[in-house]
Structure 1
Amino acid sequence: MTSEEEQRQAILALGKSFAQCTDFDLWGQPIEAIDGYKRLSRQLDDFANTEIPLFSDEQKKVLRKIGICLDLRCKALQAPGTVNGILLDDLKRIGNTLDSILKQRCRDFPVDVTAAQLQARTLPSSQNRVQESDEVDDDKQGSRAKGSLLPRPLAYSGMRVLTVKIERIGLKDATQYIEPYITVSVRDATGTELTAAQDTPVATKKESKCIVFNEEVHIQKSIESLPNGFSIFFEFKHFKPKKNMISTKCWAFMERDEVKEGPVALELYQKPADYKRKNIKLLTVKPLYLHLKIIFNT
């Protein structure tokens, strides 16, 4: 596949996601719109910051600006009537810029991003705090059940995109957990996130000593672009209604040399997750594991 074809496919995929988000926005579905805008913003950021020369520096600047506008639109939806930095009509013009990014020079961005950012900062801190609390409540009511899995990124020439299928986790009291899900993150040797963390949808199938997920998690950077010493972390979480909080029960991780195609069984460790891997204690001596399947996409 030529670089031009890769560019075209990337922009088509981004444009499709952009249109879905603005449709939710137009139809008065702010929770779905916000969730979509945030995902798309992370994707744009990944494209803008990757070392792979898929887009020119000028095009990457445009992608970053679009991501900033999506973040600002989220703020406007979270605090209706108080933040007007980015309107839906603005996004429609920005969508046209995204569609035409490969055909023309993009020096004239349709929105004054700096002015929009300044206006967004005028939201009083008390309203910011209230809105942040509301967002958590929305997550509890619906977003957590859906998860935050991202679509599979494009596999560039000579690069491999990793898909981790989370099949099931073994726990002696598996049926007792409420709204269980797994957060997946990729981190370097210091524990710093290398890609956006992703949550699986809430698992609904529970057996006597097993919770079944069967969810595919697409790592958002190719194996070749990740630094030596990276690890993939899996944190098993569940909802505690009495405390009205999310709790981590246990966690597992997979180092670079364990990333091999096929089935994998990982040991489970006591919380909290130690991203630097210096204080690790087994959850149990019983043969209970996190079962995965590794798939490479080229």
Structure 2
Amino acid sequence: MEADRDELISEWSKAFKKGTDYDLWGQPVEAVDSYRRLSEAINSQTCEEDTNFSDEQKRILGKIVTCLDLRIGHLKKPGNHQGISLDDLNKIGQTFDKLLTMKCKDFPIDVSAAQIWAHTMNSIAMVHNQTESYDAGSQEEEQHRIKAKGSLLPKPLPIGGKQVLTVFISKLGLKDASQYLDPYITVSVKNKQGIDLTAQQDTPISGRKEDQYVIFNVPVHIQKPIDILPPDYAVYFEFKHYKPGKKTLSTKCWSFMERDEIKDGEAVIELYKKPADFRRKSLNLLTVKPLYLHLKLSISM
């Protein structure tokens, strides 16, 4: 575990240097992309259940993420002076080397409540300006548009010698596939106690149906190397859709793959009736018909 943790910190430090170099060279698009990927990579390691880092170290990592996000906001809107300068950001470069021994109170930047509040208020003001002329129906359309994009994350930063899993979701078979409104799949990784091990991700809403299939054709990048996940992990897939009559989201069915099933190539897995049982004790097939979730798995370093 210590070796895995040291490799993570080393990769983060390299990624941070790459981002600040882009920033220094006046390449904001590349800098924003580097900072965003690093922020997401660190965030995935700071959940309550993660055991790679202590609570104190997670608080320090949380401050680093806040600084990265503030810098991203500044680069995206140069006229906005509420943010973090590159000089300030560079002060946290050594934090990665000292992460395992330093105290949160010694963090080199004062990530003040006022600064975070100003950043939040800027975001709220921007959303308000965009939506103040909308009626209630327009706001619902905007929320739907955001949901339609999904919440898929980019491929995580590489960690030397560790295997990264990408799951390409091809299609899901249902006898009444054409009847589902705004269908999408939530992908998560959990242990046998049902605790999340990585960030959950939603596919974009599918607008394509063929015969008895809902077509997705999207890659989902699992946010932690599978080598460092516990032996009892599984990847879960929940098929969800919108019910206009009840104005709510509903889970129709779910599926999962355990560790010993994770291998390169195509996979066709069974669908189970809701509710999803993340402890994998109560499994009831959705149908006896040959309708499945079709995937293609790719494992890379």
* TM-score, length-scaled by structure 1: 0.70
Deviations 1:51-96 (A, max 9, x none): 779xxx99976541143468899xxxxxxxxxxxxx9534233x65
Output the aligned Cα RMSD. Answer: 4.3
Indicate which of 56, 67, 76 corresponds to 2:65. 67
Aligned to 1:89: 81
* CA deviation after TM superposition for structure 1 residue 48, in Å: 5.7
Aligned to 1:237: 240
1:188 paired with 2:191, answer: yes
What count of residue pairs does the alignment treat as equivalent?
Answer: 257
In the alignment, the residues of structure 2 paired with residue 12 and residue 172 of structure 1 have an alpha-carbon distance, to the nearest angstrom, of 52
* CA deviation after TM superposition for structure 1 residue 187, in Å: 0.2
- For the 8 Å contact 2:17–2:93, the answer to whether it is kept is no
Aligned partner letter, 2:93: L
Instruction: Tell me: CA distance 1:294–1:148, structure 2 relative to 1, closer, same or farther (3 Å).
Output: same
Deviations 1:97-156 (A, max 9, x none): 445643688956444435667x79xx9xxxxxxxxxxxx957742221100000001221
Instruction: Tell me: CA distance 1:139–1:280, structure 2 relative to 1, closer, same or farther (3 Å).
Output: farther
- For the 8 Å contact 2:273–2:284, the answer to whether it is kept is yes
In the alignment, the residues of structure 1 paired with residue 114 and residue 84 of structure 2 have an alpha-carbon distance, to the nearest angstrom, of 18
- For the 8 Å contact 1:154–1:161, the answer to whether it is kept is no
* CA deviation after TM superposition for structure 1 residue 174, in Å: 1.1
1:251 paired with 2:254, answer: yes
Deviations 1:15-51 (A, max 9, x none): 789x66x98xxxxxxxxxxxx98x8754332356777
Aligned to 2:42: 44
Which has the larger displacement, 283-292 or 98-107?
98-107
Which ranges in structure 2 are unaligned for 5 or more consecutive residues?
A: 1-6, 72-78, 99-105, 122-138
How do 1:166-245 residues align onto structure 2 when only pairs under 5 Å count? 166-245=169-248
Which ranges in structure 1 are unaligned for 5 or more consecutive residues?
A: 24-35, 74-86, 124-135
* CA deviation after TM superposition for structure 1 residue 212, in Å: 1.1
* CA deviation after TM superposition for structure 1 residue 241, in Å: 1.7
Indicate which of 159, 164, 175 corresponds to 1:161. 164
Aligned to 1:26: none
Aligned to 2:16: 11
Indicate which of 285, 292, 295 corresponds to 2:295. 292
Aligned partner letter, 1:257: D
Aligned to 2:126: none
1:102 paired with 2:107, answer: no
Q: State the percentage of identical aligned residues.
A: 45
Q: Secondary structure at the match of 1:276?
A: coil
In the alignment, the residues of structure 2 paired with residue 40 and residue 5 of structure 1 have an alpha-carbon distance, to the nearest angstrom, of 12
Aligned to 2:268: 265
Aligned partner letter, 2:44: D
Deviations 1:155-182 (A, max 9, x none): 2112101101101111111111111110
